[in-house]
Chains A and B, each alone.
Chain A
Amino acid sequence: MITETGHFALVLAFALALFQTIVPMYGAAKNDRSFMATASPAALAQFALVSLSFASLTYAYLSSDFSIKNVYANSHSAKPLIYKISGVWANHEGSLLLWVLILTLFGAAVAVFSNNLPQSLKARVLAVQGSISTAFLGFILLTSNPFERLSPSPIEGTGMNPMLQDPALAIHPPLLYAGYVGLSVSFSFAIAALLEGKVDAAWARWVRPWTLAAWMFLTIGIALGSWWAYYELGWGGWWFWDPVENASFMPWLVATALLHSAVVVEKRNALKVWTILLAILAFSLSLVGTFIVRSGVLTSVHAFASDPERGVFILAILCFFVGGSLALYAWRAPILKAGGIFAPLSREGSLVINNLFLAVAAFAVLTGTLFPLVYEALTGGKISVGPPFFNPVFGMLIIPLLLLVPLGPLLSWKRADVLGAMQRLWAAAAISVLVALLVMIFKERGPWAAPLGIALGIWLIVGSLTELAVRTKFLRAPFGTFLSRLKGLPGAAIGMALAHAGVGVMVIGIVAITAWKVEKIVVLKEGASITVAGSKVTFVSETKGEGPNYSAETGRFDITVDGKFITTLYSEKRAFRPSGQPTTEVGIHPYWSGDLYVVMGDAIKTGGRTVRVYFNPLAPLIWFGPLIMFIGGMFSLFDRRYRVGAPKRAKQAVMQPAE
């Protein structure tokens, strides 16, 4: 009964989404207030209905109702509680329902928090949101119904892919989807602005928190996925340039560009046409990502069994939204009034360069990702494009940008004194050069470029903090002045410095693991040991045990450094019930200098086990960096000047043309 309620709620939500698309849009066109006023209640009711539907599917998972095909195929009564819950979205149908749940949540949030929006703009934004809901609810109901029944009802489920039974991966999809789907709000605002024919500083301020929130979720979602791959896949890799990863990375790159260009719209009323295009592209790439992941058109190490028929449906949705929005853009963008003028060497100019490089980098990733598809369509030959393509190409396109990051915030609007800005960065430059020299002297091996890479990271960190130091008169005024100035700093300024410094932290982690990773693969019998990067790893014993829904062979490894006991690591081979699918659990000990990473491999007939031991220098920085970026985003999001409902400062902004 609960299941039928969930299904029925979904059908109602679909009807309501259709209503929400048509009626407010018509109302905005005819300037009919009562029609426009239906948008908010419709968005709220739609969210309530999809929540009900999602809750009923979750209930089916919690109560292990195997009469529902989706639960039967993806769950098992012996599964721990957290994975019964995450099982809801660890499959195609459920993950789409989660997608729509987050979409309608964003729609409801717009309805609640955007009371200061002009009524027609709000109606149009919610109507566009409604159209996206309509498409995806239709997709779920027609091709991917999570509530399909089985008759007769099986007694036990077939279980969930054990690799997904992991805490990080339980929350990875909701975060990533919040990022993907959050970009739909920026998209809706862009479409609504095109229909209104007006983009101004106020518009940029309204879109800002939504783009920022989406960007934060994407950042942390991608980082979490990478961290999971690092400790779960068992070979120390953290990024594979795999289509599914690229699918999340491309919207991130474009969303990052959008965040920066929207600042120019807000402060200087310029780059409007470009910003609108970025907002359209960011969400379009989210849809491309959904298509790539859900259709299985590209071979991916992350691919899960997928269905091409559904791919065609998503492709149709993709073509409708991308094609439709770009057509609307081509038609309406020319009427947007051109804004402020600036010299090439200015804050605006630096943000244009930022956008240019990010857009081109996203283009390179897109080309590399789709090239195998195009090649096969043209020649029938099958190829793969991997890290040998992405690493140098992406590196060449992104390093110039990273070098310029500390400079940008020190430039003034309109026209900047570049020499003056560079002078302020002398300390950052000196520290970076010093670090490069020190690394060069003390490193024992590794590529020649590695010290430069570390220096780049330091440059980003110190350079980004320089702007804060300048603003707070750090070391130039009494400490009290510095403190009071620090307190007075706007959240957005702190947020920007943190986010940029976070990139630097990540760069250091990436360079260190790439240049100085140590990998040893050996066969160890019980009692034998191997020394890797100063740590002696002794294979003590192997035991068999039982987990809640798996049986495990656990290898115990004692770690000593110079004869001193450090810790005991355990690496497990698990065989999950009911499928028997094996997984490997890695033993990781974090030193300050990096991770010691121990993996027990297969048993060897002549006795012993293959054992892989890695030392991954500074590896945690790869995920710590994005965490700092996320925290920077929080500072910026809660900047009191931008707080939702904050008094308007329109008079201070650029004068707006009268309608």
Chain B
Amino acid sequence: MAMTRKKQRTTMIVGGLVVLGIAVAIIATALKDTIVFFYTPTEVAEKSISPTTRFRLGGLVEKGSVKRGEGTTVSFTVTDNAQTINVQYTGTLPDLFREGQGVVTEGKLDRAGTFIADSVLAKHDENYMPKEVADSLKKQGYWKHTEDEKKQPES
């Protein structure tokens, strides 16, 4: 089977497209099944999220809310200064976990509305605020400004 240049190119292009097509199908299916949504406490309060849905909860760790229970379970409250959610986590917290600081946790709600987190995201930089948390706090701040109508938001 002598290959001509044209035949060779066609084989490669068809083969390439087949693999790419399969890959796109795999990627699309996997994305649909595995994306995890990020919500703020306000969004959690507004939506009714089923206990089977995994999501990320982000906000500030409320001051004075961190309580250590028996063993390695820790509970704390995540707030966006409008709503709060109780979070329970078993394990050791990252070094940069602190009251009053931004945090992102991942897990599910239980029936009582407590967020059972299986991971608390660690950051490498104490000045760093998770982008989602920063955005949602900005939104909150902006919202307060307009309600007060005392100050125009600074640009």
Contact = CB atoms under 8 A, between A and B. Distances in A.
Given A352-B12, A521-B92, A582-B95, A397 B34 contact: no
Interface string B12-28: 10011001100100110
A363 interface: yes
A143 to B, nearest CB: 19
The secondary-structure label for the interface of chain A is: mixed
B144 interface: no
B19 A382 contact: no
A435 B33 CA distance: 34
Interface of B: 1, 3-5, 8, 11-12, 15-16, 19-20, 23, 26-27, 30-31, 33-39, 56, 68, 71-72, 90-93, 95-96, 104, 121-128, 130-132, 135
B35 A364 contact: no
The secondary-structure label for the interface of chain B is: mixed
A123 to B, nearest CB: 33
Interface in A478-526: 521-523
B4 to A, nearest CB: 7
A164 B128 CA distance: 14
B3 A388 contact: no
A650 interface: no
Contact of A371 (B31, B123, B131): B31
Nearest to B125: A304
22 contacts: A163-B125, A301-B122, A301-B124, A302-B124, A303-B125, A341-B4, A343-B1, A344-B3, A363-B20, A382-B39, A382-B132, A382-B135, A383-B37, A384-B35, A384-B38, A385-B35, A521-B90, A521-B92, A523-B72, A573-B95, A604-B68, A612-B92
A296 B131 contact: yes
B5 A610 contact: no
Nearest to A387: B34
Contacts of B135: 382
A396 B68 contact: no
Contacts of B123: 301, 303
A382 B125 contact: no
A356 interface: yes
A547 interface: no
B72 A521 contact: yes
A367 B31 CA distance: 9
Instruction: Sort chain A's interface into a size bin.
Output: 35 or more
Interface in A355-383: 356-357, 360, 363-364, 367-368, 371, 375, 381-383
A21 interface: no
B23 A364 contact: yes
Given A352-B12, A356-B16, A161 B5 contact: no
B31 A368 contact: yes
A584 interface: yes
B26 A610 contact: no
A19 to B, nearest CB: 39
B38 A523 contact: no
Given A356-B16, A523-B71, 15 more contacts: A161-B126, A234-B95, A304-B128, A342-B3, A382-B37, A382-B38, A385-B31, A389-B31, A397-B26, A521-B92, A583-B95, A601-B93, A602-B68, A602-B93, A610-B72
